[in-house]
Structures are given as C-alpha cells and as structure tokens.
Structure 1
Amino acid sequence: MLDYVNWLRHASPYINQHRDCTFVVMLPGEGVAHPNFGNIVHDLVLLHSLGVRLVLVHGSRPQIEARLAERGLSPRYHNNLRVTDGAALECVMDAVGRLRVEIEARLSMDMAASPMQGARLRVAGGNLVTARPLGVHDGIDYHHTGEVRRIDRKGIQRLLDERSIVLLSPLGYSPTGEIFNLACEDVAMSAAIALAADKLVLYGEEAGLLDDNEQLVRELRPYQARAHLQRLGACYQAELLDAAAQAAEGGVRRSHIVSFQNNGALLTELFTRDGGGTMVAQEQFERLREATIDDVGGLLELIRPLEEQGILVRRSREVLETEIEQFSIVERDGLIIACAALYPLPDSQAGELACLAVNPQYRQGGRGDELLARIEQRAKTLGLNQLFVLTTRTAHWFQERGFVTCGVESLPSSRASLYNFQRNSKVFVKSL
C-alpha cells in the first residue's frame, strides 16, 4: 500500500500536467496481437479518464500477413514497405477492418470492467486521413501503397472536444475515391504534427533505443537521433526513431518510444520522472543553469537531508534567498537534482566552492563534475585564481579532481576568521 501511495504522490504533478493535453499513441499490429494488449488498453482508458485527449493509431502488418497466407499469397516488400497490388489491398482492407472492430470492442469492454463503469466512452473515426500514391521507386510500382497527404485536423479536434478517443487506421483515401495502404508510423507522426500534439508515443518491441553497449538511451535531441539512425540501419527501431525525430522537428514537444511487451510501460514513461523508454525532445530535459529566487524551495528540499546528516552547513530559507545568485543548479524536468555555490572571498583572488550536493538517485551521471566545471568557469570569469573547499566527508572526491590539502592558515583571512573548529572540516585548494 505504501508503494502505491508514494507512486501516486510522485505521479500527481504529471496527472495535472497531462490534463487536457493531446497525445497521439501508435500501436503496431504486433502490439495488438501481443498478450500484453489488454494491459495497454487499460492504460489508454486510464489516460482518457484523467483528461488526456487521445488519438490512437493502430498498425496491422502481422494481421495482413495472416490474410495473405490464408489466400495463398506471398507478401512483397521493397525498402521495408509493402507493395500493395489489387489482391493485397483486399487483404489489407479485410485485416484493418476486422482489427479496428476488435480494438473498439476491447476499449468498450475495458471501460465496462473498470471503475469508470457507467461512464460513456466513445471511439470515433472516419475519413480523417487523405493519402496519395507512393508511386514508382527504383522501378518498383507500389500500386495501392500510399503516403499521408493531409490530416483532417479540425475534424479530429472536434471529436476530441466531444471527449471521444479518436481511432485512426493505416488506411488513407484520395479525393478521387482510391484507398491506400499506409504505414502506421507515418499516420501517427503526421497526425501528431498536424494536431500540434503535446506528445507522440510510439510502441515497439524494445523498451526504447539501445546504444552499442545494449544500454537504454533515455533522452535525445532531434539532431542526436540522426546519428543513431545511421548506426541502426534498416530496422524497426530506426523507423520509430525517425518518426520521433520528424515529429520533434515538426513541432511536437516530446516523443516517446516504449515497449508493448512491458506491462505498464506507457504509465511508467508518462508518470515518472525518468520514464522507462527513450524520449526525443525539442527542449533539454535536463539542464545546468544559474539559480533564481524561484529555486529556493527546490534547493531546500535537496540540501536539507544532507544538512541533517551534518554533511552540509545548515542554511535557512532567508540565507538562501539572500545568496541565491551564488548557486548553479542542475534541473531535471522541473526538479532540482544537484547544486553548488561559489562565494568570492573578500580581499583575495580566491573563491570558495560550497554546498555541492547531488540527489542520491542521480549520483552516477557525472553531475558533480559538471557542477565543478561550471563553478571553476565562473571563478575564472571573476578573475579568481584559487578555489577553496571545506569538507568533512568527501575529501577523496575532491583530491581526485586536482584539489590538494592545506591548513586553515592557507585560507584568506576573511574566511579563516569564520572557520568552525567544532565541525573540523578539512581544507583543500585548487589553482585555476
């Protein structure tokens, strides 16, 4: 019970933040066919009940493959896109139609079986995607395979205003009445851009993007995504990353890649600070900057546990408000996770590095080194040539970064007169 209460408390800022936001969620056909699909539907209904304006785009590749196999037809691909001739188009329409009905039924069933029972959930759609033929590429005629030409933004927004979940299938229609088979990733990305969505969520098999060491890449800028695309080559993760990067470049603030195999992946990504997948964001999710008066409350939350342990000298809110301009901070999605202060010492060309603190959950990311580099840069800008630090617990950390031990007598007189012999801090200095 306590874990649930703590999770809800930490999620509450995101619940408020996501209300009335527009999310476009893409679930490929493999995700619909996966045993975890029921849990994904639960999560989508929960988002809807929390006031999120939801557009769901579904894929259908494995379902189309099954229809082709039933008719004894072989699938044809070029550059990972289906070549949709007349016979294949019949299979596409059959598979997409059946899948759409199944998804609508599952969403309705989930509402009936949830605490939202009795509330009406509407799933809406229509000819909201206009498409055009992909044409002939490298001598290959794609026939009825198309690409998105236009999204009916006003039509979708009207349905969202009516509190409907908008369900988009990977089919598009031309003004001349033709039907085109579309990539669900293209539909989702185009819809997110057209709607100026707050988020695009892309489900894939993996938890997100993995680097060369098979470690999860948690955050990327669009320009960084391009370098990873070259490394990945032709694979589905590359398709998802490309869609996320294009969405960011098209104005979508944040795109997320999560796994349809992991129960609760969507909620973890959206309602926890570090998420569980890969995010491609326009703005910097974590940044190092100078503190302002609005940061005093966050600084107090960060340093108070260390003050209670005797690691840092206790500072009152009034002192922090007076000295706030001395602080540099690391902010992660609105939370201050690290700080350090520089105090120029009067009558000398020296400064004191003080109140260096990093949230215990984030001590493995080199943030202390980033703050030290920022403090040293600020000191040099002020014309200081020495940096002192007084510490009771972290002597080795500073020694490993070029600080050398010295006596209290080495401190400038203005600082030596304030030395607390009861704390008995060790004094270190570094030449800049």
Structure 2
Amino acid sequence: MKAYRASLLYFSGPQAAAEQIVFEKDGLLVVGPDDTGRQRVQAVGDYARLAALYPGLPVEHLPGRIIAPGFVDMHIHYPQLDVIGSPADGLLPWLENYTFPHEARFCDPGYSAQVAEFFIAELLRNGVTTALTFASSHPASVNALFEQAQKSSLRLLAGKVLMDQNAPDGVRDETQQSLLDTEALIQRWHGVDRLGYAITPRFVPSCSAAQLRGAGELAARYPDVWIQSHVAENADEIAWVRQLYPKARSYLSVYQDFGLLRPRAVYAHCIHLDDADRALLRDTGTAAAVSPTSNLFLASGFFDYASADRSGFMYGLASDVGGGTSFSPFHTMLAAYYVGRQGQGKQGLSLKPQQLWWQHTAGAARALGLHGVVGNLQPGCEADFVVLNPQATPLLARKTAQAGSLEELLFALIVLGDDRLIEKTVISQAQIA
C-alpha cells in the first residue's frame, strides 16, 4: 500500500450535480492491491483525519499539486493518429480523401504496432487512463493495439471496424469473414487484464444489412462486450442513411432494428436527433459520446445538452481524434463549453466546469457501464489518477493563484490547460512522466 498527500478532486456520487464534486485542500489518497493484485483506492479524504488510521504507511507528499481521476475518452480512432489536422470540406470528403487511404496502411502488423505504441503513449501523456477506441478493419490493427495497451496497463475498449460496402479497396472487408474475425478477437481479448472488446460497425452506410444483422447476433451472444458506432453526425450522412433505409423511422432506429442498442453501446456524436431518438437512447441504456472538437472542426453541428438532460440518456466527452483536434481533455472540455454557449439557442448554455469535468471522468465511466470502476477516486475504484500542476505555465500559475472558488479554479484549468498541466499519470502504480 502507498499514500499520496495533495489536494484531491473527485465525486461523491454518480450524478452530474455540481454539489457532488469534492475538493480536499489537504487530502490523502491511499491505494493498495485487492485480492487479485489489482491496485485500487483504499481510502480518500482529509489528510488529518486519515493519516492517523494508517501509521507507518509511506506517503508521497505533492505540495501545490492536485490529484484527480484519470480521464475517460469515450470515442477515439487510433488509425487516425496521423489524420489529425487534415483540411476538408466536411465529414464525407474528409473520410474519402484522408481517413480511408491512411487506414489502409493498417494491414501491416509492424506499422500497426508502431502507431499503437505512439497512440497509447499520447493518451497517457494527456492523462487519459480509459478509452473506447476504433481500430481499423484489419484484425492486425486490433491485436497491435491491445498488445500495447496491455503492456501499459491502460484500460482499453476497442474493436475491429466492420465495413463491407461503400468503402474503397484496402479498408473494405468481407461480410462473413469480418464477423468470424470479430468473434475470434472477442474470444482472444475480451476480459483479459484491463481490456474489453467493442463490436464496431463503422456507421450504417458502410455496413450491409447482413453485416449489421451479424453484429447484432454477436452482441446477443456476448452480452458483456461493448458496441460502438456513429450516428446523426452530419446532414449528408443522414440523407444517405435515409436513402438506404427509407422505411426506418430514423438513423438511430436502424441500429435498434439490428439489435445494436443496449447498455454498453456507445454512439458518437448524436447531434441531429429528435425527442423520440433521445427516448430510445434512454430506454435502451445506450450512451452518447459527445465529440465537440470534431463537430466544430468538421462543421457537423452542436450537441443539444439541454434536450439530452431533459430526456435523461447517458453521455460523456470524447476527443474523436483524428476528426477531433486534440488528445487533451482540457481542450475537449473547453470545446464542450463553446458548444453549450453557441449551440443552445439565443440564450446559450453556460456549462459549469464541475459538469464538464464530470463528463470526462465519472460521467463518462457511468455511460460506459464502468461506474465505480474508473473515473473517480472513491474506495474500490481502480487506482488510475493524474497529478496536476496548477503552476505548469506562467499564465496558469498567475490565474489559479487568484481563484476565489473551486469553480474559478477548475474553469481556469479547463481554459488554460493542456498536456503541460499533467505532471504525472499513474495507472496501477505505473507512473508515466
């Protein structure tokens, strides 16, 4: 067992309410192995109260630092690492001109391994300790990613992309083989160490009815795996789905018809939804991955926070690299704030920093079905956390020194923070500089 003394930031309950955020100015975080050897939080709270309960326990003192839960990224594409920052007129041209040609390279296991190593390192450098990730359509890309995540002890959920139509040579797969490959990958990787498999149809236009039906059958056969895809991101994409499924009530309902909405199913974007779609997400336990930097970059639209909260479905934040423009959770939270201000009607919506932080930690974990496992520092949670240095840059140091409340402090970190704010990322006692 080991203890860390610093300021502590965590959540006391499962909801997004600002009052459930806890900030211990002088706190103690005690971590130690459970009966399986996995490092978990044993105790958290005020230093003066807890220190007496653990006499002789080694304590690493981190004055002036803040320990917070590791960030949870609900949607990211590892084969798009080198696509980030590529100019395009919108989603579909961006896929055609940049994404698909680059993803074709992931048939090479050596290339996949090289990108996977950099990708995992970049997540950890930015304080992301759990991620739901797309691989490419090549099984080799999945194996390389899981192998690297296992070495790093990252909690990773990932899957082979399914795309047997409307896709170029090099990334298009074959229907039956794609389903056989998916099942083999589930059996090899799901539940190994901190790894989980996600059945991954890219999006409706890229998957035949037979492939979507097969994905739904796999989901029924393996009820504890995840499902991930895209929905209602772009107007042209929605029109395309309407042509393919003219009798469907909505884009989202196509996934429902194939058995792909349920707890542990996560759909990126969810921008252009109606209330019936939102009710369907809520009633099936399906979650949305909100990707603000990607949506702003590709001019896809604004996630409707007010309607989401009114409907009551689960959601959390995601970087969506490479359509998204940064691995940094601080950039993602700031973009979500912009989306709230600009995309919620004339009045706008001013998302509190406590809510933004929750969406990228405990709230995202809950949406993934991992409440009480990651995304928080409550006893029993896996010991994933970041050490933040509020003095990482001169401007940040000046601003945070003037913060008169927790809200002002967190907002300053979100607005001015980036990878330099992450002094350490700790996963299962493995410290990543």
TM-score, structure 1 as length reference: 0.29
Q: Which has the higher contact order (CA 8 A, sep 6+)?
A: 2
